[in-house]
A and B are shown apart, each in its own frame.
Chain A
Amino acid sequence: MIVYFKWKFLRTKNDDYNNVSKFWMKIFALNFAMGVVTGIPMEFQFGTNWAKFSELTGGIIGQTLAMEGMFSFFLESSFLGMFLFGEKLLGQKLHFLSGLMVFLGSWASGFLIIATHSWMQHPVGYEILENGKFVLNNFSALFNNPWLWPSYLHNQAGSLVTSSFFVAAVGAFYLLSNKHSRFGKIFVKSGVVFGVISSVMLAFPTGDWAAKNVVKHQPVTFAAMEGIFDTEKGGSEIILIGQPDMENKKLDNKIAVPNVLSFLTYQRWDAEIKGLNEFDESIHPTNVPGLYYGYHIMVGLGTIFIGIMVLAAFLLWKGRLYKTKWLLWILMFMIPFPYIANTAGWYTAELGRQPWLVYNLMRMVDGVSPTVSSGNTLFTLLGFVGLYLLLGLLFLLLVLKIIRKGPEAKMTLK
């Protein structure tokens, strides 16, 4: 979106858009710094905490991860420096180009990470040697993985929804508090336009594709996600609300709509969907309630996002949005929910794969570091919890400060 604002500035020569772009750049720079410092531990973690997994599959997932390092991290970081400090040195057009490069880099990074993730969900192009090592025998299979594109597009739509809501919420805050209203309008407008497109795409087609993948390749995960314990003749109902009761293998207090799930999944009202009880318990997802709630929170919030954004877009089109206070309030308070939905989505993906580390091939317990004791991991876990809490607080504080000052504040990035 920053790139979009910069482009708009180049087209219209309206300084407002350049200020807007710079304003979001400040927040982006903070975000990026936080992302870099918290991302490095993740790369280290493969080796430190999942040594056995790294040793056995490194020949494959190392491939996509090394590509990420070489292709996207260098691209992002070199051009981010120019984007942040080089406006005067570069001139406006090249400055825009450097922003575009940062955007490309981060989207490439997402792609390669999801490629790694997809291989763990749905391993392809490998063979297993006698010593248990996974070796690659088909490079292009990694990128033709049927799991890859749906997950990637779904993920990117999710991130676009998050930023749209964030931009719209800051705009709503400005309009409601009568500060920087000129910018408030720009924010709300662009946030809603981006938001309506991306939240619809989040459900259809990307969410739909991703879910169909799960049905096809991990039916037991799907049953747990949807909270279906028993296979039902004549079509399955879709669960809206209910609490899984693991002792008795059933769902309590459920509100459900008959046959819809069958239709959504197979486009037939009476299609049979296998329930959880049909599968051997040793391959049940380890944490069924967690998976079920993660999925339902994600889908529930996603539906609410569409509702709000469609309504807001309609009022925007009618020219009444900036005066409809109650909707602006809602937009403002929506800020945390896309983050919650994203996190719930990742929970769904990760819990859904368990007990497997590599689906159907390697279990979680077989992947951990053999020599690192639990006392040591607890020590470092506590350290990270403390450190990230501190970082999170500082981050919130500084973003709030930037927002309070607003886009008109002296913004020279000399």
Chain B
Amino acid sequence: MEIFWFIVLMVMLGTYVILDGYDFGAGIVHLFFAKTEEEKKAVTNAIGPFWDANEVWLIAAGGVLFFAFPTLYASAFSGFYLPLMLVLWLLIFRAVGLELRGQVHNRMWEAIWDKAFGIASFLLALFFGAALGNVVRGVNLGMVENGVSTQEAHYFFLALWNPTFDPLAEHQGVIDWFTLLLGLVAVITLTIHGANWIILKTSTDLNQRLKKVIFKLNFVLLALVVTSACLWHYVKPFPLNNLQTHYWLWIFPVIGAVGLIGLFRINKFKKDSTGFLFSSMFIFGSFATTIASMFPNLLPSTNGVNPSLTVQNVAAHEYGLSVGLGWFIVAAILVVVYFVIQFRVFKGKMDDVGYGEH
């Protein structure tokens, strides 16, 4: 039963990354590449009616985490206290920037909220990448010092950084060179992803420029992915054990690779949706590969004293999980229905939605 909820949780998180990921990407594009008022409008129109429904995936995933794996929820949310608060503040600025910009027609007002939206999106992408890095690297569960736990076995607290930015130090920080690298991977990935979404949803001159940007960034991304894969092995040796015992899991890295390589043909795609499809494949593939290689660990322990948090040892009680299945299936069907309706209503290009003009 807990395996089922684990898959549910991961699918929801993955969906969140792909959906809100393009919103962050669009924010980054807005910050660096959209020059004219028309282009900026195009970017906000492309994500306007979607971003808040996309953010719901994060909230709902949080709810499912709380319900199915309460111990992990309690441990991780209190341990990653500071970065989570920063993420909350950034989410607020992103939303407020988007919503308030069009409320007053004044250059300075618009400039302030443009920057709030863009910078918050950029930092969110960086933080979510770094968050993945933290989970992969693991934390000092129980805050062990000299071989003795100073806290209960599944609690910890992470400073934002330690003096050396070293992922292998006894007391890790949220930001070290490894998590920063993964943050950078996330920024580049989501920039490409967001640009693809804008190409799909709008039709201004910006799109031709974005295709060139995607082509160039894709080289950077390829280099970063190779580098981080090697360093991954240095931080957490033998990440591929699961894949060596279960050959079918190789499907995930293959999907990711196809997505990444395919994007080099960005200038030759006939349909505007192809690019978005490929960047989604890359995100899905790399996300799923990470999870598959960690399973059954959810949050590894970096000391020898306390065990890692796994799918089994943090799950809620059997009865609750089974009852939950009933309402969850109903709710999941409804969610799919909403999304089909939403995408049918807002299909095609969004150039004249007039987002933010209300």
Contacts and interface: CB of A to CB of B under 8 A. Distances in A.
Interface of A: 25-26, 29-30, 33, 36-38, 40-41, 43-44, 46-49, 51-52, 54-63, 65-71, 73-75, 77-82, 84-86, 89-90, 129, 133, 135-137, 139, 369-373, 376, 380, 383, 387, 391, 394, 398, 401, 411-414
B66 A54 contact: yes
Contacts of A33: 52, 95-96, 99
Contact of A370 (B60, B68, B71, B152): B152
A41 B96 contact: no
Contacts of A43: 59, 62-63, 66
B78 A394 contact: no
B37 interface: no
Which 5 residue pairs spanning A and B have beta carbons closest together?
A58-B70, A47-B77, A62-B67, A69-B63, A51-B78
Interface of A is mostly: helix
Contact of A54 (B74, B89, B324): B74
B257 interface: no
B52 A81 contact: yes
23 contacts: A30-B99, A40-B91, A48-B84, A51-B77, A63-B323, A65-B67, A66-B64, A70-B327, A70-B335, A78-B338, A81-B52, A81-B342, A82-B49, A85-B354, A86-B345, A90-B345, A135-B319, A369-B81, A371-B78, A371-B79, A371-B81, A371-B143, A372-B78
B156 interface: yes
A65 B62 CA distance: 9
A27 to B, nearest CB: 11
Interface string B307-319: 0000000001101
A59 B64 contact: no
Interface string B321-358: 00110011001101100110110011000001111011
A85 B104 CA distance: 19
Contact of B104 (A67, A73, A401): A401
Interface of B: 48-50, 52-53, 55-56, 58-64, 66-68, 70-71, 73-79, 81-82, 84-85, 88-89, 91-92, 95-96, 99-100, 103-104, 143, 151-152, 155-157, 316-317, 319-320, 323-324, 327-328, 331-332, 334-335, 338-339, 341-342, 345-346, 352-355, 357-358
B73 A44 contact: no
A126 to B, nearest CB: 10
Contacts of B76: 47
Contacts of B89: 383, 387
Contacts of A52: 74
A90 B49 CA distance: 14
Contact of B334 (A69, A74, A80): A74
B155 A67 contact: no
A414 B357 contact: yes
A51 B63 CA distance: 14
A86 B334 CA distance: 20
B342 A58 contact: no
Of the listed residues A52, A69, A370, A372, the one surrounded by the most CB atoms of chain B closer than 10 A to its CB is A69
A129 B89 CA distance: 37
Nearest to B158: A371
B74 A74 contact: no
B77 A81 contact: no
A136 B331 contact: no
Given A26-B358, A398-B100, A58 B64 contact: no
A78 B7 CA distance: 24
A68 B78 contact: no
Contact of B70 (A44, A55, A78): A55
A71 B288 CA distance: 26
A47 B320 CA distance: 19
B316 A51 contact: no
Nearest to B343: A78
B346 A86 contact: yes
A71 B334 CA distance: 8
